[in-house]
Chains A and B, each alone.
Chain A
Amino acid sequence: MNAASVIADARAFWAATRKEWRILRRYPGNLLSFIFWPIALPLAYVFQAQAFSGGRDDTMAAFMERTGTNEVAGFLFVGWATYMWLSIVLWGPGTALRTEQIRGSLEAIFLTPASRLVVLFGPAISQLVWAVWIFVVVGVALWIGFGVSIGPVEALRALTVIVVGVPALYAIGALFGAVVLRFGEVHALVQGVRGLFTAVCGMSFPIIVLPDWAQVVALSLPPTYLIADLRAVLLTGSGVGRILGDLAILAGMGAVLAVAAVVAFRRTELHARRGGRLAQY
């Protein structure tokens, strides 16, 4: 592959992102759902936490001891915002392929010389816009509803964490893409993995409350680090330097998962080309 080809693929990648964004824009109703859910879902957990704690000082102290912050709403809102973003990313590449398959356009794309990564990640990148939107909605809701303000420095630190976490999450998404090419359907698997992440990665609780074995599982999953580090920089005032160890692990996981995803995707594409599964859905 020469430089010209890489540049041409980069343009194709941008075109895929822009195409998907154009289609998304033509269904404006989606925007409303992305205002409602980032507020409604964590809010329910905030009320639940208030009910369980009774608002007593000793329960708040216990929460502070375990989480490093006394911002219960902030803790839950950041956790669930990350979960929603995670869901988009996990669905992203697999769904992009599946959607192209159902639309009947996957073969038309595979007839072009563009890299397969274009179709896998181009449309998924457009969904990052929704991720940004979710975090903006959450930030505004925290500020207005709970007086938790997130300044530009904290936001920048959070962005750093997100950028480091993106390869690992998108690699997991690409593995789902490989599953789509192999089996044609990925819904059940994504639900299962999302369930696992919800159960052990600490969306609505610190993982320290988990049994030891579950903590080991949690620490082997990229979202655990992502959520913990986002909370650290947004709610406890941690600088990036204090979470460098976590970020290194996250980056390492991203590298390993990316290699696994590329190998899996190539193998399943070859399988699809042998069995004629590209057009089947």
Chain B
Amino acid sequence: MPAIAIEAAGLTKDFEKGRRTVWQRLRRERDRRERFRAVDGVDLHVEAGEIFGILGPNGAGKTTTMRMLATLLEPTSGQATVLGHDLVTEARAIRRRLGAVLSGERSLYWKLTARENLEYFAALYHVPPAETKGRIAEILEIVHLTDRADDYVEKYSTGMRQRLVLARALLPAPSLLLLDEPTVGLDPQAARDLRERVVQLREEGRTVLLTTHYMEEADQLCDRIAIVDHGRIVALDTPAGLKRDLNATEVVRLELHGPERSDAALVARLESAGQVAQRTRENGTLHLTVHCQSARELVPLVIDAARAEDAELANIQVQPVSLEDVFISLTGRALRE
């Protein structure tokens, strides 16, 4: 396996908005559709053997990036090599060594058993017939589906189907796995189980590129994380490195009741002990998120400031810094907004 699993430079994908009717095409009318940029000049350098996460809100361009790297979408511009092969001209060579979980449980044949599904895809992945049976048995064991291997997929739970999709991705014995939101829709136990499998895959020497909008998942699993927003990478580092760059160790979330006119003054007072990362007002309540080095020092200041500005402190929460806070500090928005 090459030392670099993925190398991308300036990867860009534009789509057209709206539609052009057949009548417009026949009349050779000018194409008036708007173009929008889903992925905007992404540079990636994923080392072999690491779990690399792409973290961002819905619509940030994560899935489009994955689909380009999986050879399902052709980039509008930019270049990339995956496992040492050019993304556009050597797509078939990439697909021979790539496993991907992109579309979830719907992509299985529900009227076939798990074993029959895997037999079919083993043939599509060009697994040698002599190895097929053994490899399927081994993979079913890995995803804990051996005892249900001969049941129709329609009888499976969502978590079991997702495990089967992962099993399918393992069929070509891939050196690189692309997992797009692999735990979406799973119950906590199934999600935890799947995360454990992902860690095992790294221990087996495989590279994993995963997208998620669950910050805890990214924090827990990934060696490095690229935070994306509006199609661009806005930060890239280890989870610890990203949090370190925030220059804070704790996050204090405040709810204050008081006159709106005093908001600015209140914020100004708090800025002396921390950085106010987010400020919103809803139904007469001021919500503040403050990044600071020490909540112990900030809290007395909050109480004094509230008293001085005629506000009442309704709620206070102190938490260690998370990737969500990193995202807020970079974009001014929460991941789920």
Question: Hey, which bits of chain A sit against chain B, CB under 8 A?
Answer: 5, 8-9, 11-12, 14-16, 18-19, 22-23, 26-27, 103-105, 107-114, 118, 270, 273-276, 278-279
Inter-chain CA distance A22–B16, complex, in Å, is: 40
Assess whether B121 is interfacial by the CB under 8 Å rule: yes
Chain A residue numbers with a CB within 8 Å of B121 are 108, 112
Chain B residue numbers with a CB within 8 Å of A22 are 111-112, 116
Chain A residue numbers with a CB within 8 Å of B126 are 5, 8-9, 11-12, 112-114
Inter-chain CA distance A111–B91, complex, in Å, is: 10
Shortest beta-carbon distance from B26 to chain A in Å = 14
Given contacts A19-B112, A107-B103, could you give 16 more A-B pairs where the C-beta distance is less than 8 Å?
A12-B123, A15-B120, A15-B122, A15-B124, A16-B124, A104-B104, A105-B106, A107-B102, A108-B103, A108-B107, A108-B168, A111-B71, A111-B95, A114-B125, A273-B74, A279-B72
Shortest beta-carbon distance from A24 to chain B in Å = 9
- Mask, B120-147, CB within 8 Å of A = 1, is 1111111001000000000000000000
Chain B residue numbers with a CB within 8 Å of A107 are 72, 102-103, 107
Chain B residue numbers with a CB within 8 Å of A111 are 70-72, 95, 98, 100, 102
Q: Can you list 9 A-B pairs with a CB-CB distance of less than 8 A? A: A8-B126, A14-B123, A15-B120, A22-B112, A23-B112, A26-B111, A104-B106, A113-B95, A273-B72
Chain B residue numbers with a CB within 8 Å of A105 are 106-109
A113-B168 contact, Cβ under 8 Å, with A12-B126, A19-B112, A107-B72 = no
Inter-chain CA distance A107–B72, complex, in Å, is: 7
Which residues 5-41 of B have a CB within 8 angstroms of A? 15-16
In the bound complex, do residue A11 and residue B98 qualify as a contact, i.e. CB atoms below 8 Å apart? no
Chain B residue numbers with a CB within 8 Å of A104 are 103-104, 106-107
Shortest beta-carbon distance from A198 to chain B in Å = 25
In the bound complex, do residue B95 and residue A112 qualify as a contact, i.e. CB atoms below 8 Å apart? yes
Assess whether B202 is interfacial by the CB under 8 Å rule: no
Q: What are the 3 tightest A-B residue pairs by CB atom distance, in nearest-first order?
A: A15-B123, A104-B106, A8-B126
In the bound complex, do residue B67 and residue A276 qualify as a contact, i.e. CB atoms below 8 Å apart? yes
Assess whether B73 is interfacial by the CB under 8 Å rule: yes
Chain B residue numbers with a CB within 8 Å of A279 are 72, 103
The residue that A113 contacts in the complex, of B67, B73, B92, B109, with Cβ under 8 A, is B92
Q: Which residue of B lies closest to A14 (CB)?
A: B123
Chain B residue numbers with a CB within 8 Å of A275 are 15-16
In the bound complex, do residue A23 and residue B109 qualify as a contact, i.e. CB atoms below 8 Å apart? yes
Residue among B111, B120, B172 facing the most chain A CB atoms (10 A cut-off): B120
In the bound complex, do residue A103 and residue B109 qualify as a contact, i.e. CB atoms below 8 Å apart? yes
Chain A residue numbers with a CB within 8 Å of B16 are 275
Inter-chain CA distance A22–B119, complex, in Å, is: 12
Chain B residue numbers with a CB within 8 Å of A14 are 123
Q: Which residue of A lies closest to B13 (CB)?
A: A276
Assess whether B96 is interfacial by the CB under 8 Å rule: yes
In the bound complex, do residue A114 and residue B124 qualify as a contact, i.e. CB atoms below 8 Å apart? yes
Inter-chain CA distance A275–B16, complex, in Å, is: 8
Shortest beta-carbon distance from B115 to chain A in Å = 11
Residue among A23, A26, A113 facing the most chain B CB atoms (10 A cut-off): A113
Shortest beta-carbon distance from B102 to chain A in Å = 6
Chain B residue numbers with a CB within 8 Å of A26 are 111
Which residues 167-210 of B have a CB within 8 angstroms of A? 168, 172
Shortest beta-carbon distance from B54 to chain A in Å = 18
